Structure 1
Amino acid sequence: IHDGNNSFLYGAQRMIELTHEIKHSDFNDLSAFYNFPYLNHEDLHQTPPWVKNTVWYQIFMDRFYSSTKNSSLEWGHLPVKNDELYGGDLKGVTQKLEYLADLGITGIYFTPIFRSPTAHKYDTEDYFMIDPQFGTNEDFGNLVKKAHALGIKVMLDGVFNHLGFNHPYFQDVVKFGEKSIYKDCFFIDRYPVVNFNLTKNGKPMYSKGLILNYKTFAFNPNMPKWNSPNPIVEKYLLNCVTFWIKNYDIDGWRIDVSNEISHDFLRLVKKVSRQVKKDTFILGENWDSSYPWLHGDQLDSVMNYSLSYPLWQYLEHKIDLITFKDMLVTYLATTPKNVMENMFNLIGSHDTERIRHRLHDDIRRVKLALLLMFFSAGSPNIYYGDEIGLSGAHDPDNRRTMPWDEKNQDLELKKFVKFLIELRKSHPSLSDYDYHFVDAPICIFKKTKDEDEILVLINNGKKVLLQVPDSLKDRYKNLYTGEIIELHDKIYVEEYQFMILQKESTL
């Protein structure tokens, strides 16, 4: 580095002022130099190449579509509760695969579908059996085959941090205590295991403040925590991982509560998955900074709340534009690009309030959220029903039944989602890593890759008269409306308006 008078060597350890001409002997001390060791192929990220181009669709099975209509509950009934079963099933999803394909979906993420007494199925009782409420293993195999024929991948939810209270292994410990061969499969603090009353159906009755005699997920007695390093547990769960890949050709696992599972066990999940099917995708549910899990040996990706948080907070007007850009730039600077391109981007899920509810039923702002998600590196995910304006507060209200009558759907919003999916496919810049922000009173950024350049304007507030920066003055085509506009001096940008512009000269 030269400042005109002095020269400095910017080294790996420190900055050194050069007081003499560099001589060959100066290279004998390598401490100031950056060293790049040989990278072994097996140590590199091996995320399947199909992941970064996937458009995901998350399905909460019981509430998506029922092929039998045999539930005693009316489809569309409100309010919904977590102990209610509405009859959504595998055959119902199979019947709606064409709908998903037409929307542009190329990957389905199912919340748990294994045998369990609840609607959410996060308290698994049999990891090798589809819950009879949803159908059979054969029904699932048929769904996967038809999905693959339509170019749609299938990812299952693996609840490997905890299990259901009535799982045979845990019930053996409840019955036999310290004499159970499964006692070390769990974290038992005291015996007898059960220190609470049970319902007539044998389910725990938990009193607030009670200290349980065993470790659980979220202090919930219905969900004892697995001791994954235990040989019995390890064999059982890894057999589950490979069973559904070998026998039903699934394409990925979403690991529930992955940040509470042993790193060693996650390494084994990836290893055995790839041994069976080399392009299996391993996704984790981490809500916080996740880099320790993303070195290539454990998870391929995580549910990208590092993107969701700033997006939500900006559109909810909890942070200003400067803070929003700062949070995004921090995310870009701290996330390796080979990880970022495979991130699972989302604006809502079964664990959050729906985006429409979050933004007070303002569809204009919902569109801004969708736009920002689709114009970010990583794989966008649509939580079932968000594409047609389904609303809902936090769990359980965010798990309403899917409205299939078009009279109850926002078809214009659905059309917008299809537009974004098609636009992302045709413009590689939209999935590129960086947002090239422009200094302006509203959110303006460019997405570029090779010769493809898109200019995006987002007004997250009241109508403004924008003084057009000199660098943006040109004639453009609005890719959403099709109109030709000229940015020259000033332009009005309406409340919550967006523009997706491409220079006319590059069309």
Structure 2
Amino acid sequence: MPTWPEHAMWWHLYPLGFVGAPIRDGVDPDAEPAHRLDRLEPWLDHVIALGLNGVLLGPVFAAETHGYDTVDHFRIDPRLGDDEDFARLVDAARERGIRILLDGVFNHVGRGHPAFQNLTKDGPQLFRGRWTDGRFEAEVFEGHDALVALDHSSPAVVDLVVEIMCHWLDRGIDGWRLDAAYAVPSSFWAEMLPRVRERFPEAWFLGEVIHGDATAIVRESTMDSLTQYELWQGIWHGIADRNLFELSHALERHDELLSTFVPQTFVGNHDVTRIASAVGADLVPHALAVLFTVAGTPSVYAGDEFGWTGVKEHRLGGDDAVRPAFPAGPGDVEPDERILQAHQALIALRRRKPWLWRAHTDVIEVANTAMALRTAVGDDAVVVALNVGDEPVSLPIADGRALVAGEGSPADDRITLGPRGWAVLEA
């Protein structure tokens, strides 16, 4: 695994929504490029101002609707632009020291994909399914009829994905988020990824895994990291439900993963309700305090730093609220200053203490509505104190001395937090 991910922190965005492209109506994968991708460049300085150094892009390849129904992995979606637009974005990111991660949808494709449209019994075997009375009945992804499942036992699929990955790595990206990696056999990744690493040894591969034995998946697949959904759930459930024992349990399980790999951590992404809607704006800093002081490769979902809200719903268009269009630049946003400042302070702390990437966290004290955490290496320590209740609490802070973020005055190895108060201290 390359060493640069130890210092990576991502700004995660969904490009089609970000630039205000049509998602369902009037989409033509063969249309002339609309050149909307340039709208991302004014936001790159915002990434740097936050203290982040990577942009994790959602789907950018030609697709039929939401981007996860790809029809051409070698072509930028015309709703976003063309190859030249993408090259300018990569160059602009490079000038600022920002890395780029692309979203690789390699479990399935859209029904409009030419290989599926031109499928014959004698052609390359790319898809799972069976021929019945001269007609191919394709298997689909999780009941979505528009998403045709690739056959990962086929050497032709291995060759195709290797070619796609190397094509865009050669264009200057730094790695891949592997969409729906949990639905793909680990043996496929284990066969394919070493071939890519032979050409691009510095590339990083993040698998989207929402359930299963994470340790076994990493060992068997050779992926570098996985999305940490269990910790995400522990953070927002623990805070929203006023049951921090759930968060404590999630942190214990999180620590167990570190001997094998470092997970990708988050409190928001393009598939879930925004954190401000999940826990309430006043408790967002509590979630951030955990995110940026425990082990992991953290990401911020674009807009969360402003305190934006949005609820995911399970219906057609149910993702729209969490995938909105962005204004021309960050100067056009009126943020929740408390949430923005919490992001800045905690990201700065994380930047000063890169050892947090793989450090273990101890739960000093926990109750339903209050907890204290300590993450340390040697004599360097970070202590987090959280109160999600409506009454003041006093919490132990071990060797925490200097207040970094939040509020409260430490005294006699303890800190008093007001209702819904929080504090992060360093030794």
CA deviation digits over 1:331-365, x for unaligned, max 9? 323x133512xx11011111111111112xx2221
Cα separation, partners in 2 of 1:231 and 1:465, compared to 1, 3 Å: closer
Equivalent-residue separation in structure 2 for 1:193 and 1:222 (angstroms): 21
Tell me if structure 2 keeps the 8 A contact 1:54–1:107.
Answer: yes
Query: What SS does structure 2 have at the residue aligned with 1:391?
Result: coil
Cα separation, partners in 2 of 1:488 and 1:264, compared to 1, 3 Å: closer
What are structure 1's unaligned runs of at least 5 residues?
1-46, 74-80, 196-212
1:243-282 alignment runs, 5 A limit: 243-246=167-170, 248-282=171-205
Cα separation, partners in 2 of 1:440 and 1:159, compared to 1, 3 Å: closer
Cα separation, partners in 2 of 1:290 and 1:430, compared to 1, 3 Å: closer
Tell me if structure 2 keeps the 8 A contact 1:245–1:273.
Answer: no
**1:108 pairs with one of 43, 49, 55:** 55
The aligned length equals 410
Equivalent-residue separation in structure 2 for 1:189 and 1:393 (angstroms): 39
Tell me if structure 2 keeps the 8 A contact 1:453–1:502.
Answer: yes
Corresponding residue for residue 3 of structure 2 = 49
1:72-221 alignment runs, 5 A limit: 83=25, 89-118=36-65, 120-173=66-119, 178=121, 181-182=123-124, 184-191=125-132, 213-221=137-145
CA deviation digits over 1:164-184, x for unaligned, max 9? 1011111112xxx54x514x3
Offset of 1:436 from its aligned partner? 2.1
Q: How much identity, in percent, do the aligned residues show?
A: 25
Question: Which structure is higher in strand share?
Answer: 2
Offset of 1:464 from its aligned partner? 2.5
Corresponding residue for residue 337 of structure 1 = 259
Offset of 1:481 from its aligned partner? 6.0
Tell me if structure 2 keeps the 8 A contact 1:90–1:134.
Answer: yes
Corresponding residue for residue 200 of structure 1 = none
CA deviation digits over 1:12-70, x for unaligned, max 9? xxxxxxxxxxxxxxxxxxxxxxxxxxxxxxxxxxx21111221111111122246xxxx
Instruction: State the TM-score, normalizing by the size of structure 2.
Output: 0.88
Equivalent-residue separation in structure 2 for 1:497 and 1:482 (angstroms): 7
Cα separation, partners in 2 of 1:141 and 1:424, compared to 1, 3 Å: same
Corresponding residue for residue 60 of structure 1 = 14
CA deviation digits over 1:173-206, x for unaligned, max 9? 2xxx54x514x321223436879xxxxxxxxxxx
Corresponding residue for residue 248 of structure 2 = 325
2:345 matches 1:419? yes
Matched AA of 1:456: V
Cα separation, partners in 2 of 1:475 and 1:285, compared to 1, 3 Å: closer
Tell me if structure 2 keeps the 8 A contact 1:156–1:253.
Answer: yes
Query: Computing the radius of gyration over CA atoms, which structure comes out larger, 1 or 2?
Result: 1
2:283 matches 1:365? yes
Cα separation, partners in 2 of 1:433 and 1:224, compared to 1, 3 Å: same
Query: What SS does structure 2 have at the residue aligned with 1:337?
Result: coil
Instruction: State the TM-score, normalizing by the size of structure 1.
Output: 0.75
Equivalent-residue separation in structure 2 for 1:64 and 1:437 (angstroms): 38
Using the TM superposition, name which of 321-330 and 257-266 deviates more: 321-330
Offset of 1:420 from its aligned partner? 1.1
Query: What SS does structure 2 have at the residue aligned with 1:437?
Result: strand
Equivalent-residue separation in structure 2 for 1:354 and 1:482 (angstroms): 24
Matched AA of 1:226: L
Matched AA of 1:382: V
Tell me if structure 2 keeps the 8 A contact 1:390–1:402.
Answer: no
CA-atom RMSD, angstroms?
2.6
